[in-house]
Amino acid sequence: MSLTVELSHRFGTFALDASFEAPQGVTVLFGRSGSGKTTIVNAVAGLLRPDAGRIAVGDRVLFDSARRVWLPTHRRRLGYIFQDARLFPHLTVRQNLAYGRWFAPNVGRSEDSARVIEMLGIGALLDRRPGALSGGERQRVAIGRALLAQPQLILADEPLAALDEARKSEILPYFERLRDETSVPILYVSHSPAEVARLATSVVALQDGRVARQGSATEVLGDPEVTPLGPGGAGAVLETTVATHHPDGLTELQAGGVQLLVPQVQRPPGARVRVHVEAQDVMLAIRRPEGISALNVLPARILALRIGDGPGALVQLDVGGNLLLARVTRRSATVLGLQTGQEVFAVLKAVSVAKDGIAGRGILPH
């Protein structure tokens, strides 16, 4: 089942004109604030009526301005996970979880409920009220409440934005499991490249109310046109498989035509592992550097150069068939004479490996 969205909406000076398809898995709506992400999600949820367009889940039409179809929110079969949890304060956790089931057409099986409670680890909270929960617990309950409404479409509007780093890494794995265990499309709003890198099956990059780029996470995040030139943020995603574990505690990952050495990853050889490389953690050299402690020095070819107005430049690289981004200063780009098509060497300083549980940015062995 997939979600089809075609919208145009105008309020004040802001014009939204976007269409995309969200397949099974997590589709991340990615863009700066004010790019129209929340407007799109609210239109899909029926909380905002767009001027024109069409929204459908599979062959269920939620909105079609041409045919004058407008399904009210409560008949759209959604699971909406809000940034601010929005649990009902007068109900216990148990009652909050059951709320959507009261209204679901086919009464859910109790093993569903047990499985979701187990998956989210909220069994001990059932008799508490939302006022007595921590931010992370509240958000987990909100995820459970959305899932138990037996949705045909899950919407999440920056569900982690209000949480600190520790809570974020507490919740992220649940979204990964959700992505891998449900067949329902998930539309996930975020402006965090790290979340996109970890969760996205596909990415819709929005800019000023328009779809700037759409595709798989590796394609979109590796495109320097999509990522802003400001400090931080930009970074590419590599799909890798675990090749071997070395006795000195390093794991070798195979990414297309190149190998990466990272601190031990607790996965068997052959397992697929997604790696996030932030652009600021990639150095460039025009000759193979010698006498350097970095282990990951990879031959690369410059595909594109994007020099902004500031002191920074973003370089898109082809590394053994993978797209990689490197952030260098404009001065370095000039001094090294970087240009499209040039063969260079990429030195990786750090990567993030999405493990089971907590994924952190780890400095690479050198």
Partner 1 sequence: MTLLSPEEWQAVALSLRVALWATLGGLPVGILVAYALARWEFPGKQILNGLVHLPLILPPVVTGYLLLLTFGTRGPIGSVLQDIGIVFAFRWTGAALAAGIMAFPLMVRAIRLSIEAVDPKLEQAGATLGASPLWVFATVTLPLVLPGILAGAILAFAKAMGEFGATITFVSNIPGQTQTLPSAIYAFLQVPGGEASALRLVVVSVVIAMTALMLSEVLSRRIAKRVAGA
Q: Is residue 79 within the footprint of partner 1 (CB under 8 A)?
A: yes
Considering only residues 67, 68, 74, 287, which one is a binding residue for partner 1 as defined by CB under 8 A?
A: 74
| Only segment of 11-19, 39-47, 218-226, 290-298 that touches partner 1 (CB under 8 A) | 39-47
CB–CB of 96/139 below 8 Å? no
| Residues 312/224, Cβ–Cβ less than 8 Å | no
Strand 25-30, strand 185-190: pairing: parallel
- Residue 169 CA to residue 354 CA, distance in Å, equals 10
Nearer to partner 1 among residue 44 and residue 194 (C-beta):
44
Asked if 127 is part of the footprint of partner 1 (rule: CB under 8 A), the reply reads no
Cβ closer to partner 1: 149 or 324? 149
End-to-end CA distance of the chain: give it in Å, rounded.
Answer: 46
Site membership for partner 1, residue 134 (CB under 8 A): no
- When binding is defined by CB under 8 A, the residue of 73, 134, 241, 266 that contacts partner 1 is 73
Q: Kindly identify the residues of this chain, within the stretch 149-168, that bind partner 1 according to CB under 8 A.
A: 149, 155
CB-wise, 81 or 226, nearer to partner 1? Answer: 81
Size of the site for partner 1 (CB under 8 A): 33
Query: Could you say which residues in the range 92-111 bind partner 1, by CB under 8 A?
Result: 99-100, 102-104
Q: How far is the CB of 81 from partner 1 (least distance, A)?
A: 9
Distance CA 207, CA 329 (A): 25
Binding residues (CB under 8 A) for partner 1: these are 45-47, 72-80, 82, 84, 86-91, 99-100, 102-104, 129-132, 145-146, 149, 155
